Chain A
Amino acid sequence: MAEYNRPQSEAEFNENFKDKTPLMNDTQAHYESSRCLFCYDAPCMNACPTAIDIPLFIKKINTGNIDGAAQTIYDSNWIGNACGTVCPTGVLCEGACVYNKQSVPAVQIGKLQNFATRHVIDNNKKLFEAGKDNGKKIAIIGGGPAGISCACELRKMGYTADIFEAKDKPSGLTVYGIAPYKITNEEVLDEVKYLQEQLGFNIKYNSPISSKDQLEQIEKDYDAVFIGVGLGPTAFRNIPGEDKSGIIGAVEFVEDLRMNHHKTNVGKEVIILGGGNTAMDAASESARMGATKVILAYRGSKEKMGAYDFEYELAISSGIKSVFDANPKEFLGEDSVEGVKFSRADGSEFTINCDMVIKATGQAKMGSFFKLIDNMETDESSRIKVNKKNNQTSNPKYFAGGDAINGGAEVVNAAYDGKLAALGIHKWLNE
């Protein structure tokens, strides 16, 4: 599998991880926007979790009103640029485009979205203003897409919005989790900076909230609280040998990769456990990091995999192999992992050698943190329960959104949740 050589420098890393579909130029945007039919009650718009008025913003691009197009996007979705890049558009807006019905390629909505948002970000166009200070303060725990989106919407209405973020960068998994060939760190951070400069929310970095005392202080200082903490680290699977070195969780692996690029340690022969989108990402990423053998091992059948087809195709196209009906039984080796023993449904067993294992088998929930908050109910999978109309939890002072309530979805869902919660907070405080 010699598709990719191990990157030795930042430049080689960038080459291996470069975006397959870069930003549109003016001509592309013009032709592509001309194709939109301006459907009534547009299916694309209905398929967008944030309900961006897609035909309207495309029409604006087509008539040279790029700023207006970006405004339309941000009016519905504060993470508009990142979403244009990382959304699985094929199963969302573009998947719903009416052109699909005639086997004509769908309008490239995501790319057009980026064309507009990057235009305003790169040219620092002022589109937003904070609302008049209303004297009320909202605390936001977690500065991922959900938290940022909530902060933006609150600022527009005149609230003070203080984000408490455990890490030293904003954007959560958009910067620590999503595959680097989908979006770069700079692009994510540029968007947050662009929004923050105009709307003026505060982010307190390196400020994890983890104790009852901290929460009590926050409750005292703030009129309402939004929880957007996402999910925890990769869950432990309790498989014999799991503590050997060379076995790492997918989220931890991607975080390492996003932060350290070519300096990330990747084995020669890598086994990825799992069948979801995260597994596909980890497989593609290992291949791009120059692993000579990457094997995706999923315990069910190909059809049962949770990953989108296009993510699987992408992984396959970067040269990985897959085995199905492979349930990990034991990690073999002395101190560091040397292989994985799998069992099949019929009880038979087989072993695959490797020098690294990436577990893309699901992230832990933040159950113990949630328990610190009085009367805040969670469901059987430790997801915070909310009222779908306003994202309010059973403790009325607390609102929540993003992966923390849905157990792990997309950035666009977090963007929607944050905004919905902000509107919910506003309504609740003004009742």
Chain B
Amino acid sequence: MPDLSIDFAGIKSPNPFWLASAPPTNSGYQVMKAYDAGWGGAVWKTLGMPTINVSSRYAATNYRDTRISGFSNIELISDRPLEDNLREMREVTKRFPNHATIASLMVDTREQWIDIIKMVEDAGANGIELNFGCPHGMCERGMGSAVGQDPKALKTIVEWVMDAASIPVITKLSPNISHITDPGIAAVEAKTDAISLINTIKSIVGIDLDSYAPYPVVDGKGTNGGYCGPAVKPIAMHMLKELKKHPLIKDTPISGIGGIENWRDVVEYILLGATSVQVCTAAMHYGFGIVRGMEDGLKRFMSEKGYNTIYDFAGKALPNVMEWKDLNLKYDVKANINSDKCIGCDLCYIACDDGAHQAIALPTDGSRIPSIIEENCVGCNLCSLVCPVEECITMVQKDDGTKHNTWQQLTDSEEIPCTWNDDRAGGKGHYVPEPIKALESVRKDRSGARAK
């Protein structure tokens, strides 16, 4: 049986599943309910400067019938009295001493940081997370992402905190910055114990077509929100990889956040080096129960692969994330259609013909089952991505695996194409139909036909 417990920069937790600082950790009631459901830790909803919230706070992007593929909020940090939060935190940490209860904090002056750290330590918090991420409201007051976007200011504050804190400190980064390594280095230089990322991304998820205001609409107006949920996972994972590959940062434990909803997401984050994960949107969408599927899936994955702890595979994908110039130019895959599975939607045909490399032919026998023109196929994957049938179009390796050449090697041996019409360029000699063929295409666009 795999052991899911972790020691994250000195914060112990029965498993790597934590709730992110957000509405699901707004109260002791919720945190206790979450621990009871199976969560190993919770980062308390950010405590700090007093706030007032607007009503109408969330909005979402829906993709077709999928609700909340992305989620946006204009909520501030906790608006509940600090005293209530601390009392409940004390109750939670007493009742669940082996769980990871972490206080997220956001204040302004050095004195305030020192005061509030003392208070949450007294309440039994097992760690502190510094919220330098909130991209709306708080940043207008010089906090949140205003700090996250200013590595110098961030460094100063982390130094204050490291001076004052006796429990582990996690610096939570904002993704609203071009180079995530800049605040990452600043946090490490200030000796943070750990990093977490990402907080939400500045966004406008939609405009109401009657009031002309962005969602969520507050009395006819709106503001930019913070974007999160499944849609942001790719961005967050890239940032995680940037930090984990950076020589100055790579040894600092990182808690991964952004769009995590199931065990696969968790495994992917761990493979990129995260050693704890945090979840907000999925818990807001489905409740705390989702953790059971995450736990079961992670355990099965580990048993199947023979891992005892998550440290056995943490970061295992990192060596495979290269720079483009180091990828093998001789590797060659081509699409293959399994005609037994094909349902004849011909989406692959039109995707390839209009959107890629004219490498799929329609059948002439009326079957609707298209075929790949191998000479034209560049192995881009597009058809396999649009095909609605599982495992119907697969990409099959055609080279024999013995040849290896990269852009870097070509550069080193001065063999890269360098003139406008260089014979060594990739597309040279690749078949493309004559332009006029477009007007004779096999199946006419129906709307065009009607217009005539």
Contact = CB atoms under 8 A, between A and B. Distances in A.
Interface in B277-307: 286-287, 289-290, 292-293, 296-297, 300
Nearest to A29: B390
Interface in A57-84: 59-60, 63-65, 67-68, 71-72
Given A27-B390, A68-B300, A60 B287 contact: no
B293 A65 contact: yes
A308 interface: no
Contacts of B390: 25-27, 30
B289 A56 contact: yes
Contact of B389 (A27, A38, A59, A64): A27
Nearest to B285: A38
B388 interface: yes
B293 A59 contact: yes
A63 B265 CA distance: 10
Interface string A17-40: 000000001110010000000101
B262 interface: yes
Nearest to B341: A27
Contacts of A30: 390
A65 B300 contact: yes
Interface in A346-405: none
Nearest to B391: A26
A238 B301 CA distance: 63
Contacts of A25: 390
Contacts of A63: 262-264, 293, 297
A60 B297 contact: yes
A68 B263 CA distance: 11
Size bracket of the B interface: 10 to 19
Contact of B296 (A38, A55, A60): A60
A56 B289 CA distance: 9
A310 B388 CA distance: 32
Nearest to A53: B292
Interface string A121-152: 00000000000000000000000000000000
Nearest to A25: B390
Nearest to B286: A38
Contacts of A27: 341, 388-390, 392
Contacts of A64: 264
Interface residues of A, number: 17
A63 B389 CA distance: 16
A59 B287 contact: no
Contacts of A60: 293, 296-297
A64 B391 CA distance: 14
Contact of A56 (B293, B300, B389, B392): B293
B286 A65 contact: no
A64 B392 CA distance: 17
Contacts of B392: 27
Nearest to B392: A27
B391 A40 contact: no
A38 B291 CA distance: 13
B293 A68 contact: yes
Interface in B228-270: 262-264
Nearest to A31: B388
Interface string B365-394: 000000000000000000000001111100
A65 B297 contact: yes
Interface centre among A40, A63, A71 (most CB of B within 10 A): A63
Nearest to A65: B297
A4 to B, nearest CB: 29
B289 A67 contact: no
A27 B393 CA distance: 13
Nearest to A27: B390
A71 B287 contact: no
Contacts of A40: 286-287, 289
Contact of A59 (B262, B300, B388, B391): B262
A110 B2 CA distance: 31
B215 to A, nearest CB: 22
A68 B286 CA distance: 19
Contacts of B341: 27
Contacts of A68: 293, 296-297, 300
A328 B388 CA distance: 56
B301 to A, nearest CB: 8
B340 to A, nearest CB: 11
Interface in B134-185: none
A67 B263 CA distance: 14
Nearest to A34: B66
B265 to A, nearest CB: 9
A64 B300 CA distance: 11
A344 to B, nearest CB: 53
A102 B296 CA distance: 32
B396 to A, nearest CB: 19
A371 B287 CA distance: 52
B152 to A, nearest CB: 42
A40 B364 CA distance: 51
B41 to A, nearest CB: 22
A58 to B, nearest CB: 10
A104 to B, nearest CB: 10
B297 to A, nearest CB: 5
A332 B297 CA distance: 65
A59 B294 CA distance: 10
A73 to B, nearest CB: 13
Contacts of B286: 38, 40
A124 B392 CA distance: 26
Contacts of B297: 60, 63, 65, 68
Contacts of B292: 56
Contact of A71 (B263, B296, B388): B296
A65 B290 CA distance: 14
A252 B392 CA distance: 47
Contacts of A71: 296
B259 to A, nearest CB: 14
Of A27, A38, A64, A65, chain B has the most CB atoms within 10 Å of the CB of A65
Sorted from nearest, which 10 A-B pairs have the closest CB atoms? A26-B390, A27-B390, A63-B262, A65-B297, A68-B296, A59-B293, A38-B286, A27-B389, A63-B264, A68-B300
Given A27-B389, A68-B297, A71-B296, 20 more contacts: A25-B390, A26-B391, A27-B388, A38-B286, A38-B289, A40-B287, A55-B289, A56-B289, A56-B292, A59-B290, A59-B293, A63-B262, A63-B264, A63-B293, A64-B264, A65-B263, A65-B293, A65-B296, A67-B300, A68-B293
Interface of A: 25-27, 30, 38, 40, 55-56, 59-60, 63-65, 67-68, 71-72
20 contacts: A26-B390, A26-B391, A27-B341, A30-B390, A38-B286, A40-B286, A40-B287, A40-B289, A56-B293, A60-B293, A63-B262, A63-B264, A63-B293, A65-B297, A65-B300, A67-B300, A68-B293, A68-B296, A71-B296, A72-B296
Interface of B: 262-264, 286-287, 289-290, 292-293, 296-297, 300, 341, 388-392
